[in-house]
Amino acid sequence: MIRVAINGYGNLGRGVELALSHAQDMECVVVFTRRDPSALTTLGAPAAHVNEMPDYVGKVDVVLNCGGSATDLGTQGPEVAKLFNTVDSFDNHKKIPEHFDAVGAAAREAGTLALISAGWDPGLFSILRVLGEAVLPTGSTTTFWGPGVSQGHSDAIRRIEGVADAKQYTVPVEETVQAVKDGRDVELTPRTMHKRECYVVAEEGADLARIERDIVQMPNYFADYDTTVSFISAEELARDHAGIPHGGQVIRAGKTDDDVDAAITYQLQLGSNPEFTGSVLVAAGRAVARMAERGQTGAVTLFDVTLTDLSPASASDLRKNYL
Amino acid sequence: MIRVAINGYGNLGRGVELALSHAQDMECVVVFTRRDPSALTTLGAPAAHVNEMPDYVGKVDVVLNCGGSATDLGTQGPEVAKLFNTVDSFDNHKKIPEHFDAVGAAAREAGTLALISAGWDPGLFSILRVLGEAVLPTGSTTTFWGPGVSQGHSDAIRRIEGVADAKQYTVPVEETVQAVKDGRDVELTPRTMHKRECYVVAEEGADLARIERDIVQMPNYFADYDTTVSFISAEELARDHAGIPHGGQVIRAGKTDDDVDAAITYQLQLGSNPEFTGSVLVAAGRAVARMAERGQTGAVTLFDVTLTDLSPASASDLRKNYL
């Protein structure tokens, strides 16, 4: 059994915990938290304060860092890599090279292995972008996101005066998706690619017309998109919009000869974004534990991992049953 | 530049040659043939008889074996691996473990590296089956093929008395595809999953009703499917059915929690089956050349290859631009 520690018990940490319960060859041995460990109700694993981490050296094969990219992972990554093999879901695209270097330096010095930026984007979508271009070098790659909940956009709506609560869905524009798959020439702008659907609970007596205007005209977040705003009750929001679904698709459309098209589509439809992201972190954790066992150290990404290491099946079973 | 030899100049060999013209970091240095080399018109590379292969040792980094699985690759694989690093598209599923062992033994002894069963199925679809199960262990994997031309079924029709020529398309049943994606319970049988569309050129005076009966009742090939037969002229066949399109999709439908669904779909829509298969062989050839350069020997499959080795881009460019 691969012994796993979860570091951070928010949505993603709980998603990882669920995913571990589906992995026959892995077990959750501890959940690290910055809160009072006795306040955590886990699915079964003991909780421990992050300050106790050093006590677990030798008892954990890989730590899955489940903090956020904005504040946690930048410092958490190098710190934890000094003690354990790690996986994180660092998704601040511009800072990925810097994060890779920082985590890699700590891991090399400590003799551990750290995999960064696992999840579905970055993560599975990244894999598919590279795979698509490797097999179809002449063409273009397009990523559509959704239908799914954007936490950042939902938060932006919640900050508007008069808004009690809100949920925002990013939805790909189907005609544009189809045009891209067909290899047709199509203008790709924020507005042609995605639309935004907002479900808003207003405070009593709030000016709904002003709220709607504040949303659809908000620069960066909404102004460049076709945005619809629906006002609903708190009960409706709780009943119909409680989930955190997400998904999207990576399309590689290219040519194998001047007049011969080829299209590759990879699509995810996820009932729960954090649960699925957690599932990818768990598979990555399996690979990291195995690669570290073979002596590999430093920083890697999913680009450096083989399917054989990601899968619980043996190499000969994979050849026999999956080829 | 990675120096590539193509071994066999049929549809697949020509597909590989085209794909090499799209790969900036690879070049075709020779095409090996069992025919008279002077009879070959390549896109530019010299042709040589297979008997001259030993003369090319040291001048070729990887040989892409483009023979057929039924007759060629079983013997070609171990033979060529004695001299060169190789890639093949061996697709006789039951014999893959045996082929892996035979090629692996020859390669280990010679100090070469041989990758077997590249292409899209086996190949990319295999990768996606393993990836889907690794990240979503609770669920089921279903593969649909088509719309596309099945050469074996087209050949079976051509062998019927009174048939001058024929082309058979395998077409997935859309309602079943959708049910699988939605995670609905659906019976998966040959008939519910695929239908077969046949375009037949009959010989003059042939008994069309009897030909149609012979097709739709043919055991294994057609009897278990809903099959439609259309009689067309030789001109129509040449005009409307000259291509070799194919494709299909691998669907992993599962759950991240008891009542939370997740679906992963990987779809290929290929204008030319052999050209796209050739494109995958070329990417695999890049990886093999690099892995062999690092000293790896024996047999491997795409399950043992990293994205970093498949891609022409550098590891740091991949992290910067594709994560």
Cβ atoms of A248 and A146 within 8 Å: the answer is yes
**Distance (Å, rounded) from C-alpha A2 to C-alpha A28?**
9
Based on the fold, state whether residues A29 and A43 are members of the same structural domain.
Answer: yes
Cβ atoms of A198 and A165 within 8 Å: the answer is no
Based on the fold, state whether residues A107 and A197 are members of the same structural domain.
Answer: no
Based on the fold, state whether residues A95 and A184 are members of the same structural domain.
Answer: no
Based on the fold, state whether residues A39 and A156 are members of the same structural domain.
Answer: no
Based on the fold, state whether residues B149 and B255 are members of the same structural domain.
Answer: yes
Tell me, yes or no, if A138 comes closer than 8 A to chain B by beta carbon: yes
A303–B303 CB contact, under 8 Å? no
pLDDT over threshold 90, residue A62: yes
CATH code of the domain covering residue B220: 3.30.360.10
Of the candidates B22, B97, B319, which has its C-beta nearest A316's C-beta? B97
Give the torsion sign (CA, B167, B172, B175, B176). positive
B304–A315 CB contact, under 8 Å? yes
Q: What is the CA radius of gyration of chain A?
A: 22
**Distance (Å, rounded) from C-alpha A313 to C-alpha A302?**
18
pLDDT band at A70 (very low <50, low <70, confident <90, very high): confident
pLDDT for the residue numbered B157: 97
B322–A181 CB contact, under 8 Å? no
Pick from B307, B316, B320 the residue to mutate for testing the A interface (most A CBs within 10 Å).
Answer: B307
Tell me, yes or no, if A15 comes closer than 8 A to chain B by beta carbon: yes
Q: Which tokens is B47 given?
A: 């042709």
Q: Which tokens is A263 given?
A: 């299209």
pLDDT for the residue numbered A8: 96
Contacts of A124 (CB under 8 A, 6+ apart): A266, A268, A280, A302, B131, B135
**Model-level pTM greater than 0.90?**
yes
Q: How many CB atoms lie within 10 A of CB B255?
A: 19
What DSSP string runs through B171-233? EE-HHHHHHHHTT------HHHHEEEEEEEEEPTT--HHHHHHHHHT-TTTTTTSEEEEEE--
A303–B306 CB contact, under 8 Å? yes
Instruction: Give pLDDT tens digits for A181-192.
Output: 998 999 999 999
Q: How many CB atoms lie within 10 A of CB A185?
A: 6
**Which residues in chain A have their CB less than 8 angstroms from residue B264's CB?**
266-268
Last residue of a domain, one of A255, A271, A287: A271
Based on the fold, state whether residues A253 and A138 are members of the same structural domain.
Answer: yes
pLDDT over threshold 90, residue A89: yes
B311–A134 CB contact, under 8 Å? yes
Q: How many helices (H) and strands (E) does chain A have?
A: 12, 14
Of the candidates A93, A269, A307, which has its C-beta nearest B303's C-beta? A307
Per-residue pLDDT for chain B (323 aa), expressed as one digit of tens each?
A: 999 999 999 999 999 999 999 999 999 999 999 999 999 999 999 999 999 999 999 999 999 999 987 788 888 999 999 999 999 999 998 999 999 999 999 999 999 999 999 999 999 999 999 999 999 999 999 999 999 999 899 999 999 999 999 999 999 999 999 999 998 999 999 999 999 999 999 999 999 999 999 999 999 999 999 999 999 999 999 999 999 999 999 999 999 999 999 999 999 999 999 999 999 999 999 999 999 999 999 999 999 999 999 999 999 999 999 99
Q: Which tokens is B92 given?
A: 């006789």
pLDDT for the residue numbered B68: 83
pLDDT for the residue numbered B73: 85
Based on the fold, state whether residues B131 and B252 are members of the same structural domain.
Answer: yes
CATH code of the domain covering residue B292: 3.40.50.720
**Distance (Å, rounded) from C-alpha A70 to C-alpha A88?**
13
Q: Which tokens is B266 given?
A: 């990987």
- Total number of domains constituting chain B: 2
pLDDT band at A244 (very low <50, low <70, confident <90, very high): very high
Shortest distance between the Cα of A264 and any Cα of chain B, in A, equals: 5
Tell me, yes or no, if B164 comes closer than 8 A to chain A by beta carbon: no
Q: In what order do the strands lie in the sheet with B47-49?
A: B47-49, B26-33, B2-7, B62-65, B86-87, B113-115, B298-300
Based on the fold, state whether residues B171 and B256 are members of the same structural domain.
Answer: yes
Q: Pairing state of beta strands A139-145 and A246-257? A: antiparallel
ipTM for the complex shown:
0.96
Return the H-helix or E-strand segment holding B138.
none
What is the DSSP secondary structure assignment for residue A37, as one 8-state letter? Answer: G
A126–B270 CB contact, under 8 Å? no
Based on the fold, state whether residues B109 and B221 are members of the same structural domain.
Answer: no
Range of the domain at A256: 126-271
Tell me, yes or no, if A139 comes closer than 8 A to chain B by beta carbon: no
The percent of residues above 90 in pLDDT, for chain A, comes to 95
Q: What is the mean pLDDT of residues A131-135?
A: 98
**Which residues in chain A have their CB less than 8 angstroms from residue B64's CB?**
none
Based on the fold, state whether residues A143 and A236 are members of the same structural domain.
Answer: yes
Tell me, yes or no, if A312 comes closer than 8 A to chain B by beta carbon: yes
pLDDT for the residue numbered A148: 97
**Which residues in chain A have their CB less than 8 angstroms from residue B316's CB?**
97
**Which residues in chain A have their CB less than 8 angstroms from residue B127's CB?**
131, 307
Nearest residue on chain A to B125, judged by CA atoms? A323
Based on the fold, state whether residues A9 and A28 are members of the same structural domain.
Answer: yes
Query: Which SS3 state, helix, strand or coil, does residue B258 take?
Result: coil
- φ and ψ of A308, to 5 deg: -60, -40
What is the DSSP secondary structure assignment for residue B165, as one 8-state letter? Answer: E
**Distance (Å, rounded) from C-alpha B212 to C-alpha B207?**
9
Based on the fold, state whether residues A172 and A264 are members of the same structural domain.
Answer: yes
Q: How many helices (H) and strands (E) does chain B have?
A: 12, 14
pLDDT band at A74 (very low <50, low <70, confident <90, very high): confident
Residue B122 pairs with which residues in a beta bridge?
A: none
pLDDT for the residue numbered B316: 96
Of the candidates B283, B307, B323, which has its C-beta nearest A93's C-beta? B323
Tell me, yes or no, if B286 comes closer than 8 A to chain A by beta carbon: yes
Chain B residues 243-282 with a CB less than 8 Å from chain A: 243, 256-257, 260-272, 275-276, 278-280, 282
Tell me, yes or no, if B23 comes closer than 8 A to chain A by beta carbon: yes
Chain A residues 199-238 with a CB less than 8 Å from chain B: none
**Which residues in chain B have their CB less than 8 angstroms from residue A98's CB?**
none
